[in-house]
Amino acid sequence: MNPYQVLGVSETATDAEIKAAYRELAKKYHPDNYAQSPLADLAEEKMKEVNEAYDKICEMRKNPSSTNAYSNSYSNTYSNTSSQYGANYTHSDFPDIRRLIREGRLDDALQLLNGIQGTGRNAEWYFLMGMVYSKKGWSEQAYSYFQTACRMDPTNSEFRSALDNASTRRNYNPSGYNTVSSAGCSMCDICAGVMCANCCCECLGGRGCC
Amino acid sequence: MFGYITIDKSEMLVKDYEAYKAVYCTLCKQLGKDYSVFSRFILNYDCTFYALTALALSDDCPGFCSSRCRFNPFKKCNYLKNDTKALSLAAALTVVTFYYKLVDNIADGSFFEKLLCYIILPYASSWKKLAKKKYPEIDAIVKEMSDSQFEVEKDEQCLIDKAAEPTALMLARVMELLEDDPQKRRVHHNFGYFLGKWIYLLDAVNDFESDKKHKLFNPYIIKYGDSKKEHIDEIRQSLDNCLSEALLSYRLMDIKRFDRIMENVLYYGLTKRQKEVLENKEK
């Protein structure tokens, strides 16, 4: 596929424009956004496509004679950090369940998890419950399980990042503009403004207006 | 379907608004053509959005033309020129969801509501039969939603996620119909799932007071008890979460046109609607 099309820019675009388009896309498809999402793998693929397209354009522009040369030597600024999710733990009490979750066999994983009773339900158990529910789309349940996991083991970075990701998604403001009405000029602001102006008038020797 | 998925006109370019209106008017016309003149009255925004999504994903451009509106002969409206599957699918979805909504109202409505529903039911039922002949899968999907919703409401300790599941799955499956590739179907499934969940939850917030009065099923009453004022932030977060997930899925879809309209809905239309419902009740 044409790398320019992947980035959504024309072939005559300047280097700066290309970089901006790449940044925009990289921000959109960054693996951190899709952590714990059932679509994480597809976002990762997309990210790879964007990275490759950008590398290819850079290579083509740097070295115009070899338009078809393709080098992967560029170090990508946005690497796939979360592809190792669930794989970067050093020790796990439930390796089988983690494998099931990775393979997408959520119902089997849930059954095994529910079979664990009493003291077996440690912080990791709550974390894995959260993972299963998160992949199922039951985000309310997932959120409360992640919260419990973090409360039981506040030092674990894996649990913490899962909770942070879930919390980020609980605030939606894609347009970047603040939808809280009080941020604008509310009636209160107007009243306060008038009162201040009135005080100023009085200070300057006027009689104020009320 | 409840008509929550709308655009925010003030954030739109005029040309996009015209295009959106053309989709709306064409769906109205399609209802008249496929079912009956009276079925045009049940046209709603959710199904218009479904038609819009289907058109945004389809390979060929529909094209526009203008002709007179059936309801106001002095007005000229824009319509889509080509007959596409997107619109007949959306029309079928409109009548099928309407039928099951009526059946649901008969089950737990007040006396007058029931009476009214019984009067309309024969018409709705005949439209549904026509739609079922054309698209049996749509009827099957909506029927399953209606049945499992009935099951879910028996649970007195019902979790929010569980209560929203039938509606979420319904929209997930109708969105899946728009795609054949299994990987892309997953994206569509997720997109529909969270939009459906959002619709269900927002409707639950909207009906909170009346459900409390009539002692009807409402997942937020189960979770927060009689007062939702103190929990309004948590409620907002649960709704926001659905929108975030839907947006993540949207970004992985192959949108071929109408992207500005779709983004208007996702960025402004939905948040505006959500704010209206939440603030109305905060007072």
Q: What is the pLDDT of residues B131-181, one digit of tens each?
A: 889 899 999 999 999 899 988 888 888 889 999 999 999 999 999 999 888
CA angle in degrees (0–180, nearest 5) for B144-B194-A137: 85
B129 Cβ under 8 Å from any chain A Cβ: no
Dist CA B109 CA B17 (whole Å): 36
- B222 close to A (CB below 8 A): no
Contact between A194 and A162 (Cβ < 8 Å)? no
Q: What average pLDDT score do residues A43-50 get? A: 90
Asked if residue B236 belongs to a domain, the reply is yes
Average pLDDT over every residue of B267-272: 92
State mean pLDDT over A117-141.
89
Domain membership flag for residue B53:
yes
Residue B199 covered by a domain: yes
- Two tokens at B189? 């499934």
Q: Identify the burial level of B162 via C-beta atoms within 10 angstroms of its C-beta, where 0-12 means exposed, 13-18 middle and 19 or more buried.
A: middle
Q: Is B267 on the interface with A (CB under 8 A)?
A: yes
Find, among A184, A139, A165, A126, the residue nearest to B234 by Cα.
Answer: A139
Confidence grade of residue A66 (pLDDT, cut at 50, 70, 90): low
Residue A80, pLDDT above cutoff 50: no
Mean pLDDT over all residues of chain B? 88
* pLDDT value at residue B282: 47
Count Cβ atoms within 10 A of the Cβ of residue B9 and give its class: 0-12 exposed, 13-18 middle, 19 or more buried. middle
Asked if B55 contacts B27 with a C-beta cutoff of 8 angstroms, the reply is: no
Query: How many domains are there within chain B?
Result: 1
DSSP B257: S
* CA B201 – CA B190 distance, rounded (Å): 16
Sort out which chain A residues have CB atoms less than 8 A from B162's CB and list them: 138
Helix (H, G, I), strand (E, B), or coil: what is residue B47? helix
Which CATH homologous superfamily contains domain A3-79?
Answer: DnaJ domain (1.10.287.110)
Does B255 contact chain A (CB < 8 Å)?
A: no
Instruction: Please state the rounded mean pLDDT for residues B254-264.
Output: 90
B204 CB-near residues (< 8 Å, 6+ apart):
B163, B211, B218, B219, B220
| CA of B241 vs chain A CAs: smallest distance (Å) | 4
- Select from B158, B184, B224, B251 the residue whose CB has the most chain A CBs within 10 Å, as the one to mutate to test that interface: B251
In 3D, which of B30, B23, B126 has the Cα closest to residue B70?
B30
The verdict on residue B109 lying in a domain is yes
pLDDT tens digits for range A180-193: 444 445 555 555 65
- Residue A73's pLDDT is what? 43
SS3 B14: helix
Query: CB-based contact (8 Å) between B183 and chain A?
Result: yes
SS (H, E, C) chain A: CCHHHHHCCCCCCCHHHHHHHHHHHHHHHCCCCCCCCCCHHHHHHHHHHHHHHHHHHHHHHHCCCCCCCCCCCCCCCCCCCHHHCCCCCCCCCCHHHHHHHHCCCHHHHHHHHHCCCHHHCCHHHHHHHHHHHHHHCCHHHHHHHHHHHHHHCCCCHHHHHHHHHHHHHCCCCCCCCCCCHHHCCCHHHHHHHHHHHHHHHHHCCCCCCC
Residue of chain B whose Cα is closest to the Cα of A47: B252
- Is there a contact between A132 and A38 (Cβ–Cβ < 8 Å)? no
Q: Would you say residue A70 has pLDDT above 60?
A: no
Q: Per-domain residue ranges for chain A?
A: 3-79, 95-169
Cβ contacts (< 8 Å) between A138 and chain B: which residues? 159, 161-162, 165
The predicted structure's pLDDT at residue B49? 94
Q: Could you give the count of Cα atoms lying within 13 Å of A107 in the half-sphere of its Cβ? A: 0
Type of residue at B253: M
Residue of chain B whose Cα is closest to the Cα of A133:
B161
pLDDT of A42 > 50? The answer is yes
Are the CB atoms for B178 and B191 separated by under 8 Å?
no
Q: What are the distances in angstroms from CA B226 to CA B160, B213, B221, B230?
A: 16, 10, 6, 11
Q: What is the pLDDT of residue A183?
A: 45
Q: How far apart are CA B126 and CA B98, in angstroms?
A: 12
| Any domain includes B2 | no
pLDDT grade for A86, boundaries at 50, 70 and 90: very low
Which residues does residue B80 pair with via DSSP β-bridges, in sequence order?
Answer: B64
Hey, what are B67's tokens?
């002709």
Can you tell me the mean pLDDT for B109-116? 82
Contacts of residue A137, Cβ cutoff 8 Å, sequence gap at least 6: A38, B161, B168, B190, B193, B194, B197, B245
Residue B121: helix, strand or coil by DSSP? Answer: helix
Q: Does the residue B3 lie in any domain?
A: no
Predicted local distance difference test score (pLDDT) of residue A197 = 65
Note the pLDDT tens digit of each residue in B31-57.
Answer: 888 888 888 888 889 999 999 999 999
State pLDDT tens for residues B54-101: 999 988 777 888 888 877 778 888 888 877 788 899 999 999 999 998
User: Shortest CB distance from A170 goes to which of B237, B251, B267?
Assistant: B237
pLDDT of the residue at B157: 85
The range of the structural domain enclosing residue B143 comes to 9-282
What is A95-169's CATH superfamily? Tetratricopeptide repeat domain (1.25.40.10)
CATH code of the domain in which B21 resides = 1.10.600
Q: A137 and B267: CB-CB below 8 Å?
A: no
Measured between beta carbons, the chain A residues lying within 8 angstroms of B249 are 39
Cross-chain Cβ contact A174/B160 below 8 Å: no
The verdict on a CB contact (< 8 Å) between B162 and A39 is: no
- Any idea which of A146-150, B212-216, B244-248 has the lowest mean pLDDT? B212-216
What pLDDT is recorded for position A81?
47
